[in-house]
């Protein structure tokens, strides 16, 4: 139930194309729709990790994907014009999530490092809130920022560490040529072969980790945070560590180090010790994304 629920793509909220009749031969070349990454590509059937579609469906999907990307580019250009008028420019962007209702958000320290100003946006609208840094630690790569605005939706922390091989869901703003303006959910699996939390305080994960996910939460199937996404792992280093050729890897600062940091900085947070029911992929994304914010790092132009 857990694995099946979390492996659902974040874009299940979109209308899915009707599935094409798949050739029986695994060597046949098909159009493959990769919904989480919004790609349509021609691959052998056995290498299709998404949904096989007809050539006609592939054309329509590509048109829709390009239209979405063009609209995103236009919004970004308009926002950049506003920044320039104020003597600023966008340096980078990442994610953060509310840990209490007092407007305090948890993120990665590297997301807010070197910024002259911070803008934070909730997912329900594009209203920008200026943010200030309350506390930051480079040692753990964690930071708390305050937006001076009530945050009614928060994420609670799991009381227990997840087991090796357990599925998790990242919610953030993964780069797709440009950093997304709306969040996306990315399914991942815990891999102690990549990083064991008892040794480094970091959870290794296997999944499509991208720039823009940094600072976002890693959630279990009940919607509880088990850590903060730190970074994508260099695959060469991972191969040396594990002796295997691995791709799409990342690390998460595990929950006990996160909550200790919040205690030291006198930041309120909540541990969810209830026996909450598991959420479907759709419900998990809906629940988690309400508390997730995009963080824009601005510097003087």
- What pLDDT is recorded for position 244? 55
Tell me the pTM.
Answer: 0.73
% helix, strand, coil for the chain, step of 5: 25, 35, 40
User: Would you give the end-to-end CA distance of the chain in angstroms?
Assistant: 50
| Strand pairing class (202-207; 104-107) | unpaired
DSSP summary character for residue 22: -
- What pLDDT is recorded for position 263? 98
Closest CA relative to residue 6, chosen from 282, 197, 252, 296? 282
Q: Which residues of the chain have pLDDT under 70?
A: 1-25, 36-37, 76, 79, 124-126, 177-179, 234-247
Q: Are 206 and 170 in contact (CB under 8 A)?
A: no
- What pLDDT is recorded for position 61? 93
Q: Report d(CA 133, CA 118) in Å as an integer.
A: 9
Burial label, 278 (beta-carbon count in 10 A; 0-12, 13-18, 19+): middle
- Coil, strand or helix at 18: coil
Q: Are 225 and 270 in contact (CB under 8 A)?
A: no
Tokens of 57: 């469906």
Q: Are 224 and 236 in contact (CB under 8 A)?
A: no
Query: What is the phi/psi pair of residue 2, to 5°?
Result: -60, -55
- What pLDDT is recorded for position 252? 95
Q: Report d(CA 230, CA 194) in Å as an integer.
A: 14
How much is the mean pLDDT over the chain? 83
- What pLDDT is recorded for position 243? 59
Q: Are 104 and 98 in contact (CB under 8 A)?
A: yes
Neighbours of 138 (CB within 10 A): 10
Query: What is the phi/psi pair of residue 146, to 5°?
Result: -120, 135
Q: Report d(CA 19, CA 298) in Å as an integer.
A: 43
Please give the radius of gyration of the chain, using alpha carbons only, rounded to the nearest integer: 20
- What pLDDT is recorded for position 247? 60
Q: How would DSSP label each residue in 212-276?
A: T-TT-EEE-TTS-EEEEEEEEPPHHHHHHHHSS---SEEEEEEHHHHHHHHHHTT----B--S-P
157-168 tens-digit pLDDT = 999 999 999 999
Q: How would DSSP label each residue in 115-182?
A: -SEEEEEETT---EEEEEEEEEETTTTEEEEE-SS------PBPSSPPPTT-EEEEEE--BSSSB-SS
Question: For the chain, which residues make up each domain, given as ranges?
Answer: 45-85, 167-271
Burial label, 22 (beta-carbon count in 10 A; 0-12, 13-18, 19+): middle
The CATH class, in words, for 167-271 is: mainly beta
- Coil, strand or helix at 296: strand
């Amino acid at each position: 139930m857990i694995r099946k629920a979390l492996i659902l793509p974040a874009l299940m909220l979109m209308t899915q194309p009707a599935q094409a009749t798949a050739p029986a031969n695994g060597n046949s070349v098909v159009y493959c729709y990769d919904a989480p990454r919004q790609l349509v590509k021609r691959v052998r059937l056995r290498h299709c990790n998404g949904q096989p579609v007809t050539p006609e469906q592939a054309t329509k999907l590509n048109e829709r994907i390009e239209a979405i990307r063009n609209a995103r580019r236009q919004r970004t250009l308009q926002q950049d014009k506003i920044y320039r008028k104020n003597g600023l420019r966008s340096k980078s962007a990442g994610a953060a999530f509310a840990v209490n209702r007092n407007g305090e958000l948890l993120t990665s320290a590297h997301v807010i490092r070197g910024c002259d100003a911070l803008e934070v946006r909730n997912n329900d609208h594009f209203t920008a809130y200026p943010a200030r840094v309350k506390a930051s630690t480079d040692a753990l790569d964690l930071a708390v920022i305050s937006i001076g605005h009530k945050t009614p939706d928060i994420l609670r922390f799991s009381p227990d560490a997840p087991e090796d091989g357990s599925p998790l869901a990242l919610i953030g703003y993964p780069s797709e040529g440009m950093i997304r303006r709306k969040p996306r959910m990315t399914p991942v699996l815990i891999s102690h072969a990549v990083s064991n939390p008892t040794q480094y305080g970091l959870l290794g994960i296997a999944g499509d980790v991208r720039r823009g996910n940094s600072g976002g939460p890693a959630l279990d199937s009940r919607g509880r945070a088990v850590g903060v996404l730190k970074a994508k792992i260099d695959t060469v280093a991972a191969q040396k560590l594990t002796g295997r050729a691995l791709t799409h890897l990342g690390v998460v600062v595990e929950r006990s180090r996160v909550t200790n940091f919040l205690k030291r900085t006198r930041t309120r947070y909540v541990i969810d010790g209830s026996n909450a029911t598991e959420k479907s992929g759709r419900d998990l994304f809906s629940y988690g994304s309400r508390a997730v914010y995009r963080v824009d790092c601005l510097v003087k132009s």
